[in-house]
Amino acid sequence: MRILVTGAAGFVASHLCERLLGLGHQVVGIDSIDPYYSTAFKRHTVAALEERGIDMRELDLAEGPLEALLEKAEVVFHLAGQPGIAAHVPFANYLRNNVLATHRLLDACSSASHLRAFIFISTSSVYGKIATGDETTAPTPTSNYGVTKLAAEQLVLAHHRELHFPACSLRLFSVYGERERPDKLYPRLIKAAAGLERLPLYQGSLDHQRSFTYVGDIVDACTTTMDKWEAAKGEIFNIGNDRTATTREGIRLVEKITGRTIPFDTLPPRPGDQQSTHANIAKAREILGYRPKTSLEKGLTRMVAWHQDQILGKVEY
């Protein structure tokens, strides 16, 4: 099948592109190479994907031409968007890159005659500070990121409800692994362990609880959703790990794997940060047969090895 993946230079999308290619699909990846984080890091990812034979296109969903790319697409995975809860990012960026870009993509999909599945990648941030319920839990987002991802998700599902558009949404929980965004916890821990920076640790975050989920398990859910499309269509699924760990436990694991003590600086609490996530994946287990299988220690061991081999001292981030 011909599959379009948005945000393909990013973390989860790049792994998804590689998996889909390995399954024999024709993959087109698009990304705007937005400078929210290191473009050198993104270019490194693009080069790796192109070397594998993935057709990468640099394009801004909010203003670039889309119809030709979608003409023969059978499946769209929409992962592109404005990430994070950094205070310096204007609300207009979240509105443009999460809501308006999604609206334009949906409009373009209306003329894609071969399209059979549109899989929107959402986030546990739509639930707010405490993300422990199932998919029927009322969303109460507390960040611009969560608010606009929820709006984008509802745009997608409104198309399904009113126009019978073939769509579903996957709400991801605390994904980590190789190519994770450099400003996230584990890349910064690995960088700090290498003596390249001190870890900025937000007050109270040591006890934050997360459903840390290895990227390979997330990609499993994405491809399974595509394979079980008739059951998945129109649904929302929590996708994560039903085992949790605190930030403190994550720090200790990275210290164990690297053999280094990590220095940190305590900063004031970060507005909009989630206090606890615990993925309730009963629905995904039942309908999709989703089974996350990678332990946090195993996933972090892979991640540390990748950084040491591919990134540290080689790519600026």
Q: Which residues contact 30 (CB under 8 A, 6 or more apart)?
A: 4, 5, 6, 7, 8, 56, 57, 58, 59, 61, 69, 80
CA distance 305 to 317: 17
Q: Which residues contact 156 (CB under 8 A, 6 or more apart)?
A: 78, 102, 106, 118, 120, 165, 167, 169
CA distance 194 to 147: 36
Q: Which residues contact 112 (CB under 8 A, 6 or more apart)?
A: 67, 70, 71, 73, 76
Q: Which residues contact 313 (CB under 8 A, 6 or more apart)?
A: none
Which residues are marked as active site? 145
Q: How many residues does the chain have?
A: 317
